[in-house]
Each structure stands twice: as structure tokens, then as C-alpha cells.
Amino acid sequence: MASPFESYDDLEDADERLQAADPAERRVAIIALGHSGDPAAIGHLARMVDDPDAGVRQQVAMALGEFDGPEAAAALVKLLVDPERIVAAAAADSLAEFKDPASADVILPLVKHSHAFVRMGALRALKELRRKDTLKPALEALQDGDAAVRVQAIGVIGFLKLEESIPALTSLINDPDAHVRRAAVSALAFSHMKPAAETITRALKDEDWMVREMAAETLGLNVNGAVAADQLIASLDDAFWQVRLKAVRSLGKMKIERAVRPIGNCVTHEQANLRKEAAAALGEIAGADGEPFLVMIANDPDPDVRKNARWAQHQIAAKKAKAGA
């Protein structure tokens, strides 16, 4: 009977199999090397990046994704600039799973590549590596003509969480592309400095509803979010209920007492999702002036709304009892 265990001798005849005349056979050999988990396979795979068959190169790009570190990254970088899109896309996906910061050295130069797809792939890979020396090239990439590249650059900068990048992220609030503005708002959440919160606040007036939604949500995650309380209250009149909903949630989370009435006015909105969130926020703030609104929805047709209203009333009662005692 053959061994019942998976083999760990995958590399034995690798070179011979990688030189097979039939590209399908080379592919099969590459799959085996990828699955081997043996770092010695990286060298074998790296020698295949110039294979004449695009399908084979794509397979190499996928197989290299099973590894991490500079050697595998160096091979993937060559595949990321491959003229065939299927190869480059596989390389970009593989690089995105890398975690070893040392991989950044070989990826960095590609941030200035002539093709937008390559620049994007490189930045996407750098994000998770969180290396300080990637900040400068990422900041430069914020000037990129391609919006998708700028979005990835924001990620690199945001993941590093360095206060020095706030001015650059702030300037993106006027970017012509809504995806870029949305990403910038999300990235700014980490900052402990007031200007970041102020920038996010400005985004509450963005022309794109998804940017406004992101801004309303992000303020709830930012330590200085409360500076925007009045603007968030103003957002409770936003044309999109999705934006109002996030504003309600952030105001609730920050326990803004003067928001009780404006939030209360949302409990009659036709969208149950918003009514439900308003009830929850009234409970989080637990101000006694929220009670009349909760009474209004005690018999709301939507059980989720009733549920949150009951919970909120309980919170208010608990707060009163505590104050009394």
C-alpha cells in the first residue's frame, strides 16, 4: 500500500517537468510546486516567468501567491508587468496576500511604472506591508492621473496611520473622482488631530451621496468626531436616508444630547431602517427628552423599530434611576 500521506518530495523532478514541451504539462508541474509549501519551490517558479505560454505564466503567478517574502515578490513583480492581462491580474492578486515587509523593496519601483494597472497593483500590495518608506512614493501617487491608482495610494497612506499625511489626504477632499473622495474620508478616521475631523465634516456636503454616507459613518469612528455634531445634525435632513442613517448612528455613538430632537424627528420616516436606527440612538444618548418620540413608535408596524424603542426606553429609565440614586 502506498503511503497514506501527502508527499513532501514535490521538488524532486521539478526542473525536468518544468521543461516539458507541452505547456499543459508545465502547468501541472507548476500547480504541484505551488502546493508544495516548500520555499525551495520559489526558485523553480521564478525561472518560469518568461515562459512563452501566457497560461503557464498565469499559473506561475498563482503558484507564487502561496509564498511570501522578497524572492517570491521579485518573481511576481516581473509577472505584474506582463503584457497579458490575465497574467498581470493573477500577479496582483497574489501580491495582495503578501505580509512580509521585506517584499516592499522589489515592489516599490513599480509605483512609477508607465501602466496604471501595474502602479495600482504595486500600491495594493504595499498597503498590507505597512512600511514607512512607502509613504513618500504613495504621497506622490496621489497626483496620479488614474483615479483607481489614487485610491490604492490612499490605502497605503491610511494603513500607515501617520499624522504627517493628513494634509495630503485632506487635499483629496476636492478630488474630481467620488471613489477617491470616499477613500480619503475613510482613511482620515485614524487621525487624532482636529483638522482631520474638520475635513471629514466638509465631506458631509459632498455632491455624491456615498461620500456623504462615508463621512457620516467615519465621524463616529474618529476621536474628534464630536466637533461635527452640528453638521451631523444638519445631515439628518439629507436627501438620502442612507446618509441620515449613518449620521443618526454616529450622533448616538457620541451621545450628543442636543441631537435628541432632530433624531426624534426621524422616527416617522417612511424607511424603517432609519426609524430603527433613530430609536437605537435615542437609547444610546438616553436623554429624557427622547421619551415622547419613543412613545410615538411604541406601536410601530416594524418589530425592529419597536424592539429598539423598548430598549431605548429602558436605557432612559436606567439613566434616570442612576441620577436619582
Q: State the helix-helix crossing angle for 241-253 and 272-285, rounded to 10 degrees.
A: 10
Q: Which is nearer to other proteins, 158 or 225 (CB)?
A: 158
Residue partners of 12: CB distance under 8 A and separation at least 6: none
Q: Looking only at residues 162 through 181 of this chain, which bind other proteins when binding is defined by CB under 8 A?
A: none
Interaction between residue 192 and other proteins (CB under 8 A): no
Binding range to other proteins, per CB under 8 A, among 111-119, 155-163, 255-263, 290-298: 155-163
Interaction between residue 161 and other proteins (CB under 8 A): yes
Interaction between residue 320 and other proteins (CB under 8 A): no
Q: Which is nearer to other proteins, 1 or 323 (CB)?
A: 1
**38, 146, 257, 291: which one contacts other proteins (CB under 8 A)?**
38
Residue 103's CB: how many other CB atoms inside 10 A? 25
Question: Could you tell me the smallest distance in angstroms from the CB atom of residue 315 to other proteins?
Answer: 10
**33, 110, 187, 278: which one contacts other proteins (CB under 8 A)?**
187
Binding range to other proteins, per CB under 8 A, among 5-13, 139-147, 197-205, 291-299: 5-13
Interaction between residue 272 and other proteins (CB under 8 A): yes
**37, 109, 167, 292: which one contacts other proteins (CB under 8 A)?**
37
**Size of interface with other proteins, in residues (CB under 8 A):** 58
**134, 170, 186, 235: which one contacts other proteins (CB under 8 A)?**
186
Can you give the chain as a three-state secondary structure string? CCCCCCCCCCCCCHHHHHCCCCHHHHHHHHHHHHHHCCCCHHHHHHCCCCCCCHHHHHHHHHHHCCCCCHHHHHHHHHHHCCCCHHHHHHHHHHHCCCCCHHHHHHHHHHHHCCCHHHHHHHHHHHHHHCCHHHHHHHHHHCCCCCHHHHHHHHHHHHHHCCHHHHHHHHHHHHCCCHHHHHHHHHHHHHCCCHHHHHHHHHHCCCCCHHHHHHHHHHHCCCCCHHHHHHHHHHHHHCCCHHHHHHHHHHHHHCCCHHHHHHHHHHHHCCCHHHHHHHHHHHHHHCCHHHHHHHHHCCCCCCHHHHHHHHHHHHHHHHHHHHHHC
* 324: phi then psi, degrees, rounded to nearest 5: -65, -35
Interaction between residue 288 and other proteins (CB under 8 A): no
Interaction between residue 235 and other proteins (CB under 8 A): no
Site string for other proteins, 105-144 (x = CB under 8 A): ----------------------x--x--------------
Question: Could you tell me the smallest distance in angstroms from the CB atom of residue 97 to other proteins?
Answer: 4
Q: Angle at Cα 92 formed by Cα 90 and Cα 94, nearest 5°?
A: 70
Question: Could you tell me the smallest distance in angstroms from the CB atom of residue 118 to other proteins?
Answer: 21
Question: Could you tell me the smallest distance in angstroms from the CB atom of residue 114 to other proteins?
Answer: 26
What is the contact surface with other proteins in residues (CB under 8 A)? 1, 4-6, 8, 22, 24-25, 27-28, 31, 35-38, 55, 59, 66, 68, 96-99, 127, 130, 154-155, 158-159, 161, 183-184, 186-190, 209-210, 218, 221, 240, 242, 245, 249, 271-273, 280, 301-304, 307-308, 310-311, 314
